[in-house]
Amino acid sequence: MTGEQPGLLEGAIPPERNSVLYGHDHAQAFLAKAYSSGRMHHAILIEGPEGIGKATLAYRFAHHVLSHPEPSSAPDQIADPDWDGLVGRQMSGGASHNVLHLTRPVDAKTGKAKSVITVDEVRRAGKFFSQTSGTGNWRIAIIDPADDLNRNAANAILKILEEPPKRSLFLVLSHTPGRLLPTIRSRCLSLRLQPLAASDLDRALTHLGAAPGEADAIIRLSEGSVARALLLRNYGGADIAEAFVDILQRGSLTNREPIYKLAETLAARDRDVAYAFFVEFAVDRVQQMAREAGAAGDLVEADRLAQLSTALTAHFAAAASFNLDRKQTVLHTFSLIFG
């Protein structure tokens, strides 16, 4: 992926520098009131689909807390962060002694993010919370996302959550909370965010530079996710989605030319993001078809498609684990689909 930091999509604003958040007013109000009440839970599990603003919300709330360290005097609304102020500059520059962002570390050899958050990263959190804050302020850890914690890292986080230091706050982000350790979920207060409404997604894309009305077609395919919209807009995702759906509608492997063309496109160099989009879109599309079949009363077809979704998920996971050839992975995808 390209951008100002590893993992940042082209056209996106890093959460620690994003001044606006669309579509989550209720969640912001809940957090602000919980904090000002003085009875806020020490760990908040912010869950919801990828790319809908969970990290931006976490940074906004962290800025709010550090700007108003005494809950009793904090406003009951979260204002847009001032990233040029002292607190904002320290947070956005990664220089705050009171905020720790735990995410997948960058591999020094490849320059790309590793596949998991390791226990070594979590040990940084242990040291971070063991040190007394020089200002007596809050110490906030943003785990982004907790889905990426490997088993040892998850167990290490759990130990900290079980005995949280005073004036500590954990903002635990998750795209798929069902993958987290039940013991981690049980120690967090769940705050679920919903996908963005079309109007909010349009506002978000306009904020990121899209012309009014330009993103209408993209919004319909984005499922309320800014990240997916950027993939569709800036990484050829719309063409990939169209090609995949067109092949599905053909209903067989009789004409292999479009399949080979798509496979070669996704196997090209520097198409990591496009390939990742294809993997996600393929599974999501089949799952959607299963839901539609079930809603139409065709339970046999719904069951077949549900099993196909499971098979595709396992297929892509195996390909990633064994670093299999992408072209062959894409070709085999359609062999699974058409049986």
Q: Which pLDDT score, from 0 to 100, does residue 159 have?
A: 94
Query: CA 294, CA 91: separation in Å to the nearest integer?
Result: 47
**pLDDT tens digits for range 84-101:** 999 999 999 988 999 999
| Full-model pTM | 0.87
Q: Look-up: residue for tokens 């001032």?
A: 82
**Contact indicator for 180, 43 with CB cutoff of 8 Å:** no
Q: Which pLDDT score, from 0 to 100, does residue 5 have?
A: 55
Tell me the β-bridge partners of 113. Answer: 106
Structure tokens at 54: 């969970």
**Contact indicator for 231, 9 with CB cutoff of 8 Å:** yes
DSSP class per residue in 140-166 = EEEETTGGGB-HHHHHHHHHHHHSPPT
Q: Which pLDDT score, from 0 to 100, does residue 27 have?
A: 98
Instruction: Count Cβ neighbours within 10 Å for each residue of 75-87 and write b for 16 or more, e otherwise.
Output: eeebeebebeeeb
**pLDDT tens digits for range 196-206:** 999 999 999 99
Q: Which pLDDT score, from 0 to 100, does residue 1 have?
A: 34
Query: CA 320, CA 317: separation in Å to the nearest integer?
Result: 5
**Contact indicator for 32, 76 with CB cutoff of 8 Å:** yes
Query: CA 285, CA 241: separation in Å to the nearest integer?
Result: 9
In one-letter notation, the amino acid at residue 69 is: P
The parts of the chain modelled with pLDDT lower than 70 are: 1-7, 132-135, 213
Tell me how far CA of residue 174 lies from CA of 91, 96, 148, 157, 189, in angstroms.
Answer: 21, 23, 9, 14, 13
Tell me how far CA of residue 30 lies from CA of 53, 74, 161, 190, 333, in angstroms.
Answer: 16, 13, 22, 12, 43
